Amino acid sequence: VIKCKAAVAWEAGKPLSIEEVEVAPPKAHEVRIKIVATAVCHTDAYTLSGADPEGCFPVILGHEGAGIVESVGEGVTKVKKGDTVIPLYIPQCGECKFCKNPKTNLCQKIRITQGKGVMPDGTSRFTCKGKQIFHFMGTSTFSEYTVVADISVAKIDAAAPLDKVCLLGCGISTGYGAAVNTAKVEPGSTCAVFGLGGVGLAVIMGCKIAGASRIIGIDINKDKYAKAKEFGATECISPQDSKKPIQEVLVEMTDGGVDYSFECIGNVGVMRAALEACHKGWGLSVIVGVAAAGQEISTRPFQLVTGRTWKGTAFGGWKSVDNVPKLVTEYMSKKIKVDEFVTHTLPFEKINEAFELMHSGK
């Protein structure tokens, strides 16, 4: 058993608490990882807020991390002690019908136990003050050591800087993949990206790499426009600058609508606007943002009858074990940006400050 520091969420709506936790050794087909760096994501904040129907407390949150394998349980063959890895919230077992189908990346092998906050055998590897602590998204990167299933880990280039590539565990991969895998953006196309946070910027990067000629960034926070243009946005607009609905503004700006639109916020009203901003006959809109539980999307069926397509994406459609190492390689060869997504680097003790920076849009 390893004793180390972790940021524990004892209950919903309260700040995280840095505690000493005990991390049990990995059982069969499990891997214990020393987490070197982790990022914060809105999904962590969503669960912490208490709005997540799958949220269970007390829990160690975090799902964008990178580290070094400390030890492996019996039967583990893909990684060994000392390997550099990224934990994966969408695993890849290679055996379930989802993994065998090229149309999806949603491995279901450990979905039920992962959603309940436990390891595949139904138990937790974390204890604190004599209490069992739940796992989160199969990763729990807000701990100096964590235990994950062996299908939830990708071995990456040992030379990669972990304080940067941890972002490939969720946000960057999700946005980039939404553009190149889910939408399959084509050269010369016109794209609109709603929400210019980390995921939105990654979508813009993907659209640019795919050869889009016009990329319109949409956000009410104008402080984000300069960064969006650095990533490839050709122009940025705010819905608050017009009396007309944003979809009407975009349809007028683009002679009938955009070829591809992306919703990167998790707001069902914006999801509708993103679909309706698409061009009749071929426009495609991808939902990337995660809306709160129980919310529903709506539009007039005629929008779809007249040739628009509504799609969703999770982790950018990447089959995780196969593709995360390739994304790291693309970063190392400067094909994709990662460093530019990092705005602040804080010591672990200031994790609550990191959430405040995220909520304030900084």
- The per-residue b/e assignment along 128-155, b for 16 or more CB within 10 angstroms, e otherwise, is beeeebbbbbbbbbbbbbbbbbbbbbbb
Q: Give CA 39 to chain center in angstroms.
A: 10
Indicate if 130 and 153 belong to the same structural domain: yes
pTM value is: 0.96
What pLDDT is stored for residue 51 in this prediction?
87
CATH of the domain at 14: 3.90.180.10
pLDDT for 64 beyond 90: yes
What are 203-257's pLDDT values in tens digits?
A: 999 999 999 999 999 999 999 999 999 999 999 999 999 999 999 999 999 999 9
Contact 82, 69 (CB under 8 A): yes
Contact 338, 164 (CB under 8 A): yes
Q: Which amino acid type is present at position 113?
A: T
What pLDDT is stored for residue 84 in this prediction?
98
Q: Which of 313, 329, 349 is the last residue of a domain?
A: 313
Indicate if 354 and 294 belong to the same structural domain: no
Indicate if 200 and 213 belong to the same structural domain: yes
Quote the number of domains for the chain. Answer: 2
Of the candidates 6, 23, 21, 8, the one whose C-alpha atom is nearest the C-alpha of residue 147 is 23
| Dihedral over alpha carbons 25, 349, 361, 228 (to 10 degrees) | -70
**Residue 58, preceding peptide bond in cis (omega within 30° of 0):** yes
Identify the bridge partners of residue 311 per DSSP, sorted by sequence position: 286
Indicate if 278 and 185 belong to the same structural domain: yes
CA distance 52 to 44: 10
Indicate if 334 and 284 belong to the same structural domain: no
Indicate if 332 and 293 belong to the same structural domain: no
* Residue 47 binned pLDDT confidence (cut-offs 50, 70, 90): very high
CA distance 198 to 22: 33
What pLDDT is stored for residue 52 in this prediction?
86
What pLDDT is stored for residue 292 in this prediction?
85
CATH of the domain at 259: 3.40.50.720
Question: What's the rounded mean pLDDT across residues 97-105?
Answer: 98
Indicate if 28 and 136 belong to the same structural domain: yes
Percentage of the residues of the chain whose pLDDT score is greater than 70: 100
What pLDDT is stored for residue 113 in this prediction?
97
Indicate if 191 and 102 belong to the same structural domain: no
Indicate if 42 and 155 belong to the same structural domain: yes
Indicate if 141 and 231 belong to the same structural domain: no
CA distance 5 to 107: 31
* Residue 53 binned pLDDT confidence (cut-offs 50, 70, 90): confident
Other C-beta atoms closer than 10 Å to the C-beta of 298 total: 8
Provide the mean pLDDT of the chain.
97
What are 299-357's pLDDT values in tens digits?
A: 999 999 999 999 999 999 999 999 999 999 999 999 999 999 999 999 999 999 999 99
What pLDDT is stored for residue 361 in this prediction?
84
Q: Which two tokens stand for residue 300?
A: 């007039």
Residue 59 makes CB contacts below 8 A (sequence gap 6+) with 8, 9, 47, 117, 133, 134, 135, 136, 140
Percentage of the residues of the chain whose pLDDT score is greater than 90: 96
* Residue 54 binned pLDDT confidence (cut-offs 50, 70, 90): confident
What pLDDT is stored for residue 293 in this prediction?
85
Indicate if 156 and 287 belong to the same structural domain: no
Indicate if 261 and 112 belong to the same structural domain: no
pLDDT for 110 beyond 90: yes
Range of the domain at 126: 2-169+319-360
